[in-house]
Structure 1
Amino acid sequence: MTKAKSSEFRPNDYVVYPAHGVGQIVSIEEQEIAGMTLELFVISFEKDKMTLRVPTNKATEVGMRSLSTPDVIGQALTILKGKAKVKKAMWSRRAQEYEQKINSGDLIAIAEVVRDLHRADDQREQSYSERQLYEAALERLTREVAAVGGTGEDDAQQKVDEVLLSRAA
């Protein structure tokens, strides 16, 4: 098997894997599976204590992408300032849509979920499932803001919180 054409991803790069968020490519290794040699990206999601192996030839197909640009981060933070857009559909249908947006790996879609599910202190309580989706979206957003900004997650969390609080005011 030939080496992957110089891929856009390299060891030590931070990447976004749609279903898991921000991870770091630890290495590229070859493994024999069912008699075929496959070249794999080994991606570590340290926070989740998880390692993922993705065939290099399938990486873009499964939606793996480089970190967002600072411009996209800016757009995402601007979306957070917007007014929540909550459809009148049943919660189960909305929850499904939110889940799809979170797992799309699209930072703008994730920011929309955070915006739509964020509750100010004076608003009604969130249901358990609402809270789970909100926290999942918030964590994805925060990790990417941190990775792009080269800051710690705490700093990124503070930045996102400030944007959300400015909206509530």
Structure 2
Amino acid sequence: MSKTKKATEFRPNDFVVYPAHGVGRIVSIDEQEVAGLRLEMFVISFDKDKMTLRVPTSKASSVGMRPLSSADVVGKAMETLKGRARVKRAMWSRRAQEYEQKINSGDLISIAEVVRDLHRSDDQREQSYSERQLYEAALERLTREVAAVNGIEEGKAQEHVDDVLGGRVAA
């Protein structure tokens, strides 16, 4: 299957995951002239961030744009959250870089690993500002995709993720 064939599998109103920005919705597929070339573009809206992104259809797969995860992958991500945090003893700057790469990979399991590793329960030590920023970014990406896949509001998805992290749910 060629890249252009794969790209046209996306349709207006489809939810997609763009690695650097998370879950968005394709508003339309337009033609646009860029540097003298006519390009077919996906117009993707990220309502929460009040942002619109235009991605050439021919570049969609090479930039890592993908459909929403399957319910099966969401289930695996929830299982990942239940695991023990795996925090390497490397310097924080190195770990932060790895977490950032996982978040921007767009891979739901990798994002769940970041949430699991940076999650703090009430009785644990405080997070640094940068830890909290990475945790919240990963949590938001995870929550948005869980909400979109399950067709529920983000608030409900957030509650579900919180329950899994708190160990109160056997989902």
Normalized against structure 1, the TM-score is what?
0.95
The answer to whether the aligner puts 1:53 opposite 2:54 as a matched pair is yes
* Map of 1:111 onto structure 2: 112
The CA distance in 2 between the partners of 1:35 and 1:143, in whole Å, is: 37
The CA distance in 2 between the partners of 1:115 and 1:166, in whole Å, is: 12
SS of structure 2 residue aligned to 1:32:
strand
The answer to whether the aligner puts 1:77 opposite 2:78 as a matched pair is yes
**Between the two proteins, what is the percent identity of the paired residues?**
77
For structure 1, the 5+ residue unaligned runs are none
Matched letter for residue 121 of structure 1? D
The answer to whether the aligner puts 1:158 opposite 2:159 as a matched pair is yes
* Map of 1:135 onto structure 2: 136
The answer to whether the aligner puts 1:12 opposite 2:13 as a matched pair is yes
Give how far 1:8 is off.
Answer: 1.3
The CA distance in 1 between the partners of 2:49 and 2:85, in whole Å, is: 29
For structure 2, the 5+ residue unaligned runs are none
> What does 1:3-42 align with in structure 2 at a 5 Å threshold?
5=5, 7-42=8-43
Deviations 1:82-140 (CA, angstroms, capped at 9, x unpaired)? 00000000000000000000000000000000000000000000000000000000000
Over 4 Å off, 4+ runs = none
SS of structure 1 residue aligned to 2:88:
coil
CA RMSD in angstroms comes to: 1.0
SS of structure 2 residue aligned to 1:95:
helix
Give how far 1:152 is off.
Answer: 0.2
Aligned residues: 164
Normalized against structure 2, the TM-score is what?
0.94
Give how far 1:7 is off.
Answer: 1.1
Give how far 1:146 is off.
Answer: 0.0
The CA distance in 2 between the partners of 1:80 and 1:140, in whole Å, is: 14
